[in-house]
């Protein structure tokens, strides 16, 4: 067997995709369901990954460790507002619907992924979860904070939602695709204080809102505010899959909370020691 044939027979990297939880209708049914849009699944498959939907679930420590051990990469997708308690703030009148179980599920997995050095990509809400998990905060409503409207056409990720980016100097994670010059937006919250060890990769123009953050201590940890699954020219999800194909570092430790500032759901920020 040639080397290329052996590579072709390797299992596809398993990409855990944290699902949304919402009301859905199909066939004769209309009920609560765990949801992942087909666009995310298609992007993972095209990049050579095997998508696995992870439904929001109360997790014990052993559950977290088991999930992180079984996947090769973690993808956090868009969705509802984060409960501001996740980053130590009170909700305002601008806070929209929140789903605390999904928040807690994703925060636990993100912190464990950081601790285990598991490749991780956050999209839209996913960037915000990564930022909150490492002690950052959010603007709860962008226009109130002096930024532009980033949800120009609700329910659309097409041309009216596009805007330019300014890319900050500095390297991206090794497997990451180049940052596109034009991206789409569909969010009313955004990164305020960047989480521990995070570095801003790109900002929106002209309002300078943080649009992408990387965590350079990690093998691959990138969050983007735009929706690459809706942009055929953007290979961002392919970068996650490429990183997930690489062997795990032997030195990766157990799935313990990430060192840094971590928001408690009902209290102030506290320092977490490893």
Q: Residue 66's domain is classified under what CATH number?
A: 3.40.50.880
Average pLDDT, the chain: 82
> Which is higher by pLDDT, 221 or 178?
221
Residue 47 is predicted with a pLDDT of 93
Residue 168 half-sphere exposure, CB side, CA atoms within 13 Å?
16
Residue 186 is predicted with a pLDDT of 64
> Which is higher by pLDDT, 9 or 260?
9
Domain membership of residue 61 (yes or no) is: yes
Domain membership of residue 1 (yes or no) is: no
- Please determine, for residue 227, whether its predicted confidence score (pLDDT) is greater than 70: yes
- Please determine, for residue 157, whether its predicted confidence score (pLDDT) is greater than 90: no
Domain membership of residue 28 (yes or no) is: yes
Residue 188 is predicted with a pLDDT of 76
Residue 182 is predicted with a pLDDT of 72
The answer to whether residues 173 and 214 touch, using CB atoms and an 8 Å cutoff, is yes
Domain membership of residue 7 (yes or no) is: no
Domain membership of residue 263 (yes or no) is: yes
Catalytic residue among 139, 186, 188, 227: 227
Domain membership of residue 216 (yes or no) is: yes
Pairing of strands 73-76, 14-18: parallel
Residue 46 is predicted with a pLDDT of 93
Q: Tell me which range, 40-49, 148-157, 180-189, is most confidently predicted by mean pLDDT.
A: 40-49
Residue 114 is predicted with a pLDDT of 97
Give percent of the chain above pLDDT 90.
51
Q: Does the active-site annotation cover 229? A: yes
How many residues are there in the chain? Answer: 274
Which domain range does residue 65 map to? 12-272
Q: Which pair of structure tokens corresponds to residue 32?
A: 């609560």
Across 66-93, average pLDDT: 92
| Reported confidence tier of residue 244, pLDDT bands at 50, 70, 90 | very high
Q: Does the active-site annotation cover 86? A: no
Q: Does the active-site annotation cover 124? A: yes
Domain membership of residue 4 (yes or no) is: no
Other C-beta atoms lying within 10 Å of the C-beta of residue 96: 11
Token pair 């925060």 is found at 107
| Reported confidence tier of residue 30, pLDDT bands at 50, 70, 90 | very high
Domain membership of residue 6 (yes or no) is: no
Residue 215 is predicted with a pLDDT of 95
Residue 125 is predicted with a pLDDT of 92
Catalytic residue among 89, 106, 124, 150: 124
Across 224-249, average pLDDT: 86
Number of structural domains, the chain? 1
Start-to-end CA distance of the chain, whole Å, equals 45
Residue 272 is predicted with a pLDDT of 29
Q: What is the pTM of this model?
A: 0.84
Across 136-150, average pLDDT: 75
Token pair 């993100």 is found at 110
Q: Of 1-10, 116-125, 262-271, give the lowest mean pLDDT range.
A: 262-271
Does residue 237 sit in helix, strand or coil?
A: helix
């Amino acid at each position: 067997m040639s080397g290329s044939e052996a590579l072709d027979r390797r299992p596809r990297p398993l990409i855990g995709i944290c699902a949304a939880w919402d009301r859905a209708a199909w066939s004769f049914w209309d009920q609560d369901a765990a949801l992942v849009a087909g666009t995310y699944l298609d992007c993972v498959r095209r990049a050579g990954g095997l998508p696995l939907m992870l439904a929001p679930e109360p997790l014990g420590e052993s559950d977290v460790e088991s999930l992180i051990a079984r996947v090769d990469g973690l993808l956090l997708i868009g969705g509802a507002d984060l409960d501001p308690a996740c980053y130590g703030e009170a909700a305002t009148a601008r806070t929209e619907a929140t789903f605390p179980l999904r928040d807690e599920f994703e925060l636990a997995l993100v912190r464990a992924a950081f601790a285990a050095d598991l490749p991780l990509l956050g999209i839209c809400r996913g960037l915000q979860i990564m930022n909150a998990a490492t002690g950052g905060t959010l603007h709860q409503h962008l226009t109130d904070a002096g930024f532009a409207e980033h949800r120009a056409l609700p329910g659309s990720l097409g041309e009216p939602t596009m805007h330019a980016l300014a890319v900050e100097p500095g390297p991206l994670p090794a497997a990451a695709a180049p940052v596109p010059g034009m991206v789409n937006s569909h969010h009313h919250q955004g990164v305020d204080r960047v989480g521990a060890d995070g570095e801003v990769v790109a900002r929106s123009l002209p309002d300078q809102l943080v649009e992408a953050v990387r965590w350079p201590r990690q093998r691959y940890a990138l969050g983007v505010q735009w929706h690459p699954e809706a942009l055929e020219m953007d290979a961002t999800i392919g970068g996650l899959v490429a990183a997930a194909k690489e062997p795990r570092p032997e030195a990766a430790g157990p799935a313990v909370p990430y060192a840094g500032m971590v928001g408690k759901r009902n209290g102030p920020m506290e320092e977490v020691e490893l």
